[in-house]
Amino acid sequence: MAGFIEVLIISVFAGFIGAITGLGGASITTPLLTLLGVPIKNAIAAGMVSIIATSSGSASGHVRRGLSDIKAAMFLEMFTILGAIAGATVTLYVAPRFLYFFFAGFLLTSFIGLRTIKEELPTNVSQDRLARWLDLSGSYYDDRLGREVRYHLTNPLLGGGGMFVAGVAAGMLGIGAGAFKVAVHELVLKMPSKVSSATSNFIIGMTALAGVSVYFNSGLLYLDLAAPMAVGTTIGAVAGSRLLRKLSNSSTRILFLVVVLYIMVQMIVRGVIG
């Protein structure tokens, strides 16, 4: 079993990257823990703890600075929860290896789409009627640009459909699905990268909270593993949330793409080895 210091170091790194990119960190911690000899189911359970800790450690700072879009998060989380329930049900009937290939393809499409975004902030966004009715607009102070940034979101129903798919991924694969959520935020809803990462961190904690209770009740969550993970991930997430303010949207997007590429390769490998 992995030692306290090893788990702590992995957790700090995962929380730091997760807070910047909007990923929960489970996609980083789970494979590394298995390399240290932790059984896969226990590693997934511990990964859920890292997702909650990343969300808790970074979301408070993001909300205080106005980076998290709470209205959009509340609307989108409804679709995510429904998707998670559907995903958990489908898993009973579909071989996992096909799921890995399917979501690797989904991430590849997102990767290509996000690479085409060149501008620092979304421009010429035309809100549809539902987006205006839901008042899906916001603003935040961008330390990097040195000014207040106003933004408007669009396509909430299409974005909800994308978040349903993200929820399916979470339910099927036992991950927070932050990579899917950030891609939907930016490609469909036209969120700025920083707002996308901050809002994703707010949402993934709620998604993972339901899952971790199941793992705890089933005895798969080892407290001697979860404790250093919670501490390390929180430390990393707080540091990452502070750095996010100073990064450009382009830098945030590039780091996210690197992590997405890593997750994509990881899913293909899991699909091949079954």
The SS3 of residue 215 is helix
Q: Are 174 and 44 in contact (CB under 8 A)?
A: yes
Q: How many CA atoms lie within 13 A of 246 on its CB side?
A: 4
Task: Name the residue with higher pLDDT: 239 or 180.
Answer: 239
pLDDT-based confidence at residue 160 (cuts at 50, 70, 90): very high
Write out pLDDT tens, residues 48-104.
777 787 777 777 777 777 888 989 999 998 898 888 778 767 766 776 677 778 777
Tell me the pTM: 0.77
What is the span of the domain harbouring residue 132?
Answer: 4-273
Q: Does the pLDDT at position 31 exceed 70?
A: yes
Q: Does the pLDDT at position 28 exceed 60?
A: yes
d(CA 176, CA 217): 19
> Where do we find the tokens 């830098």?
251
Average the pLDDT over 201-225 and give the result: 76
At 155 the pLDDT is 93
Count of CB atoms situated within 10 Å of the CB of 1: 13
Q: What is the DSSP letter of 153?
A: -
Q: How many distinct structural domains can be found in the chain?
A: 1
Q: Are 53 and 239 in contact (CB under 8 A)?
A: no
